[in-house]
C-alpha cells in the first residue's frame, strides 16, 4: 500500500489578511479562516465595520487586527502590509476580496464610473497582491486568493454589468500570470468566482421577484449561496490541501456558468 501524507486544512499559526472583510463575503471568509485556526487581519475601509469584525474574532480567542485600508491607494496598501509584518512578523494568506460595482448601461457609463470600479476591483487587487507577494517571496511561501466572479465568464441579458465584468475577467488572467511568475517561491495564486450569494450587497436584487426568478432560472442548484458555501473553498485554497493547485479559478456559483 502506498504511504500517503494526508493533507490538512488546519491553519493554526498562519496569518491571514482579507480585504473588504467588514461585511458580506469578506466577513464570512475571514470567519471561516479563523475557524480553521488562522489569526486574522481585517483590511477594511469602513472603520466601524472593520473594528466590529476584528473584535468578534478576538472574542473567539484568535488574534484579530483591524487596519483601515483603501485599496485604491498604494500607500494605504503598503502601510497595511508593513504594519502586519511589523506586528505579527509574516503574511501567509491574502484574500483579495474588496470590490465595487456600478450598474449602468454601457452607453451611460462615465469615465469616473469606470475608474472607480477598476481602481478597486483590478488595480487594488494587483497592488495588494504585489505588496503581500514581496513578503511571501522573502518567506518562500504563501497563498493568495483573488475573488473574481461568475460575471468574469458570462453575461446575462438585461443585466448591465460591462465594467464589472471587465475587471473580474481581468482578475482571472491576473491570477494566472502571478501564479506563473511566483511559483518558484512556493506561492500559490488562485481565484474564486462566486455566483449570487445572500449578502447585503445583493439583498435589493434578491428581494425583487422578477430578479429572483431570473436568478433561479439561470442557477441549476436553484438557490443562492450561503456563508458555508464560500467558507469551504477559501479555507481549502488557503491550506496545504491545495498545495498543487495554482493559477486556477474555482467557480462557486451553483452551476450558473454551465448554462
Q: What is the spatial distance between Cα 125 and Cα 53, in angstroms, rounded to a whole number?
A: 21
Is 78 a member of any domain? yes
Residue 243 has pLDDT above 90, yes or no: yes
Q: By residue range, what is the domain housing residue 179?
A: 15-199+226-252
Grid coordinates representing 10 are 488546519
Q: What is the spatial distance between Cα 101 and Cα 164, in angstroms, rounded to a whole number?
A: 6
CA dist list (Å): 148 to 38, 98, 165, 168, 174? 23, 10, 9, 5, 10
pLDDT per residue as tens digits for the range 44-102: 999 999 999 999 999 999 999 999 999 999 999 999 999 999 999 999 999 999 999 99
Is 212 a member of any domain? no
Is 7 a member of any domain? no
Active site residue 164: yes
Give the CATH number, domain containing residue 113.
3.40.50.720
Question: What's the whole-model pTM score?
Answer: 0.97
Q: What is residue 114's three-state secondary structure?
A: helix
Residue 156 has pLDDT above 90, yes or no: no
State how many domains the chain has: 1
pLDDT per residue as tens digits for the range 169-182: 999 999 999 999 99
pLDDT per residue as tens digits for the range 185-211: 999 999 999 999 999 878 888 999 999
Grid coordinates representing 112 are 469616473
Buried residues in 179-191 as b, exposed as e (16+ CB within 10 A)? beebeeeebbbbb
Is 131 a member of any domain? yes
pLDDT per residue as tens digits for the range 111-129: 999 999 999 999 999 999 9
Going by pLDDT thresholds of 50, 70 and 90, the confidence category of residue 157 is confident
Is 258 a member of any domain? no
Q: What is the spatial distance between Cα 144 and Cα 189, in angstroms, rounded to a whole number?
A: 5
Residue 41 has pLDDT above 90, yes or no: yes
DSSP secondary structure string for all residues of 34-100: HHTT-EEEEEES-HHHHHHHHHHHHTTTS-EEEEE--TT-HHHHHHHHHHHHHHHS---EEEE----
Is 1 a member of any domain? no
Q: What is the DSSP letter of 145?
A: E
Is 218 a member of any domain? no
Contact 244, 10 (CB under 8 A): no
Residue 239, CA atoms < 13 Å, CB-side half-sphere:
21
Is 219 a member of any domain? no
Amino acid at each position: 500500500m502506498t504511504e500517503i501524507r494526508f493533507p490538512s486544512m488546519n491553519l493554526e499559526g498562519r496569518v491571514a489578511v482579507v480585504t473588504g472583510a467588514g461585511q458580506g463575503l469578506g466577513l464570512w471568509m475571514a470567519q471561516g479562516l479563523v475557524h480553521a485556526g488562522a489569526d486574522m487581519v481585517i483590511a477594511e475601509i469602513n472603520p466601524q465595520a472593520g473594528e466590529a469584525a476584528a473584535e468578534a474574532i478576538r472574542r473567539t480567542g484568535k488574534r484579530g487586527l483591524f487596519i483601515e485600508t483603501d485599496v485604491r491607494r498604494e500607500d494605504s496598501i503598503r502601510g497595511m502590509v508593513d504594519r502586519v509584518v511589523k506586528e505579527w512578523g509574516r503574511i501567509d494568506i491574502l484574500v483579495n476580496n474588496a470590490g465595487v460595482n456600478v450598474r449602468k448601461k454601457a452607453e451611460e457609463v462615465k469615465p469616473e464610473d469606470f475608474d472607480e470600479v477598476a481602481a478597486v476591483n483590478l488595480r487594488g487587487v494587483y497592488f495588494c497582491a504585489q505588496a503581500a507577494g514581496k513578503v511571501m517571496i522573502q518567506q518562500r511561501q504563501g497563498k493568495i486568493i483573488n475573488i473574481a466572479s461568475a460575471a468574469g465568464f458570462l453575461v446575462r441579458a438585461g443585466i448591465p454589468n460591462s465594467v464589472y465584468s471587465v475587471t473580474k475577467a481581468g482578475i482571472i488572467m491576473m491570477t494566472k500570470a502571478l501564479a506563473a511568475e511566483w511559483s518558484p517561491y512556493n506561492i500559490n495564486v488562485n481565484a474564486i468566482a462566486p455566483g449570487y450569494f445572500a449578502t447585503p450587497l445583493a439583498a435589493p436584487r434578491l428581494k425583487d421577484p422578477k430578479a429572483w426568478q431570473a436568478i433561479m432560472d439561470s442557477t441549476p442548484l436553484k438557490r443562492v449561496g450561503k456563508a458555508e458555501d464560500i467558507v469551504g473553498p477559501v479555507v481549502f485554497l488557503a491550506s496545504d490541501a491545495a498545495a498543487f493547485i495554482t493559477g486556477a479559478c474555482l467557480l462557486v456559483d451553483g452551476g450558473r456558468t454551465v448554462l
